[in-house]
Structure 1
Amino acid sequence: MTLVGLLGEGIAESLTPPMHRREAEQLGLDYEYRVIDIAETGETLDELPRIMRRIREEGYDAINVTHPFKQLIIEHLGGLSPSAERLGAVNLVVFDGDDSIGHNTDWSGFRTAVDHGIGGLQRRSLVQVGAGGAGAATAYALLTLGVEQLCIADIQESRARALVERFRTAFPDSRLETAAMGGLDAVLAATDGVVHATPTGMELSPGLPFDLTALAPSAWVAEVVYLPLETELLREARRRGHRALDGGMMAVGQAADSLHVITGLEPDRDRMRRHFLELIAREERVDA
């Protein structure tokens, strides 16, 4: 049996566990996926060393990692994949004997989402709003796709500058710069597409993260929020005629890539997307 878990806080509603379970079943695997939620266990961030010891003792083969552990867990690992090292964040740990290797499939999940969801649309010059953990993954994905110019804005301007400096050396052929949130209209008017990577639009943080009126009609919009699947941003973008990519594409992509790293098998991404949409529809019926 392959034993996998999800480590985080307040993750009872995460769709990652059911996505893993269903696809693993479809692949014919003996696969158990558990949730390790410190909001339920009453543990604290300081207890991460003890949590990791327990995970090892219980025989986990791998764990997915989410907020607030993506960076904290690094010092407790034996090594990092090249992408996890560059990002400074881990969302998957694979155990192999006494060794533990941190991976990051958030960026590859988003890269696949852009490839499939945006297709041949222009993506030479892009704007990204948000420079936190999700923003680091999406920016890295965009740069690996060969984006020539990427402008990053964040309400914390120092965070945007730090992210630009992190990637400038790794991607010398791309032009990276920052923009103030108050001056977004000018850069949005000249962009091929915009990526939103902040919590705005989630059920507890409704609203629009920025004004879409400056965008050229041909520009596309990509979202990382997937609960709700259609955020206010996506609704407004589609109303204005922009091609829009929902956050569920990234959620499915990171889950599929994690499954591949853990098992060595290739998940059926279209099947996982259909299951994801079933789960979203179920959530919406419960909320209604």
Structure 2
Amino acid sequence: MGPEPSRHRIGLVGAGIATSLSPALHTHEADALGLTGYRYDLIDLDVSGVPAESARTVLRDAVAVGYTGLNVTHPCKQVVVAALDELSADARLVGAVNTVVVRDGRLVGHNTDHSGFLAALRRGLPDTTLDRVVLAGAGGAGSAVAYALAAAGVRDLRIADADPARAADVCARVAAAFPSTRTTPILVDAIAGALRSSDGVVNASPIGMVGHPGTPFDPDALHPGLWVADIVYRPLRTELISAATALGCDVLDGGQMLVAQAADTFALVTGIRPDPERMRRHLGELLAAQGVPTLLEESR
């Protein structure tokens, strides 16, 4: 049995997460659904001075003090796997976890990055060509995005990462799960050349987020006709998305994936399906209140 429907204490485990919008997104939706006992906290490793390698201990300690579910973000999505008692099919496939549900004292890992990106892609870029795609980033989130792209029907997927061995590993695992998708690891320096014959590109690296400014590759490599997706949502309008928008490219901002994965996580930890459209509207309100330009509706 899971937690009682009226009592949920959720935490987000990660580093440098002070500006995360997840607490506001979750608690607003809980209020709308009448879940008065819903609480969402930040467990920031930077604030506590705990290294990412100790995230598995942080997870267990959180459960010991009463957390009923946890979100996991950069850079802990792969580290925490060893701390769990069970993995969902998606988490096992991807090799990374972003949601942990506590059931009868057992920690069960899920991956809603996978389902969230797939839902965001289908909603935000419904008619786009998916034959040849380049993916920058093969970490926990990048691995999930790679599987989602293969599931969406990408025929030729090229994956680059600062750690070439990590890119090669994700390619091998995606190829085993999706034989019809040709996967090729490439060097980060080779992204620009690969984009010349590609339909789209996804940034699933931390580059572009608060604390990691810049772009994952030279934006001069972008060209009209290329669709561009970024899973970074702090800020929503990353340098990559801004450059792509200026060229007239179809874009998918990180807010789309944020809402989709948050909705899936909410359902897992409460057993209640939220309203993604309401969550999407609320995200737009949060960003507007911060004076942040939003592409949520422009990129539909």
With normalisation by structure 1, the TM-score equals 0.91
Question: 141, 158, 165: which is aligned to 1:134?
Answer: 141
Question: 234, 243, 253: which is aligned to 2:250?
Answer: 243
Are the aligned partners of 1:190 and 1:216 in contact in 2 as well (CA < 8 Å)? no
Structure 1 residues 154-163 or 78-87, which shifts more?
154-163
Q: Distance in 2 between matches of 1:194 and 1:155?
A: 16
Q: Report whether the alignment pairs 1:60 with 2:67.
A: yes
Question: 10, 17, 39: which is aligned to 1:11?
Answer: 17
Distance 1:76 1:122, change over 3 A: same
Q: Distance in 1 between matches of 2:52 and 2:194?
A: 39
Look up the equivalent residue of 1:262 and give its one-letter code.
V
Distance 1:51 1:214, change over 3 A: closer
Q: Which residue of 2 aligns with 1:38?
A: 45
Deviations 1:134-163, CA, capped at 9 Å, x for gaps:
211211111111211111122332221121
Question: 183, 189, 197: which is aligned to 2:196?
Answer: 189
Look up the equivalent residue of 1:225 and give its one-letter code.
V
Distance 1:8 1:169, change over 3 A: same
Q: Which residue of 1 aligns with 2:172?
A: 165
Q: Which residue of 2 aligns with 1:268?
A: 275
Are the aligned partners of 2:223 and 2:247 in contact in 1 as well (CA < 8 Å)? no
Report deviation, 1:211: 3.5
Q: Which residue of 1 aligns with 2:88?
A: 81
Alignment of 1:214-225 (within 5 A): 214-215=221-222, 217-225=224-232
Structure 1 residues 238-247 or 131-140, which shifts more?
131-140
Q: SS of 1:258's equivalent? A: helix
Distance 1:85 1:192, change over 3 A: same
Are the aligned partners of 1:191 and 1:215 in contact in 2 as well (CA < 8 Å)? no
Aligned residues: percent identity? Answer: 44
Q: Which residue of 2 aligns with 1:20?
A: 26
Are the aligned partners of 2:192 and 2:217 in contact in 1 as well (CA < 8 Å)? no
Report deviation, 1:53: 4.1
Report deviation, 1:177: 0.8
Gaps of 5+ in 1: none
With normalisation by structure 2, the TM-score equals 0.87
Are the aligned partners of 1:64 and 1:92 in contact in 2 as well (CA < 8 Å)? yes
Question: 228, 231, 237: which is aligned to 1:230?
Answer: 237
Report deviation, 1:55: 2.3
RMSD, matched Cα: 2.0
Q: Distance in 2 between matches of 1:236 and 1:2?
A: 41
Are the aligned partners of 1:79 and 1:100 in contact in 2 as well (CA < 8 Å)? yes
Q: Distance in 2 between matches of 1:214 and 1:197?
A: 17
Report deviation, 1:214: 4.7
Gaps of 5+ in 2: 1-6, 293-300
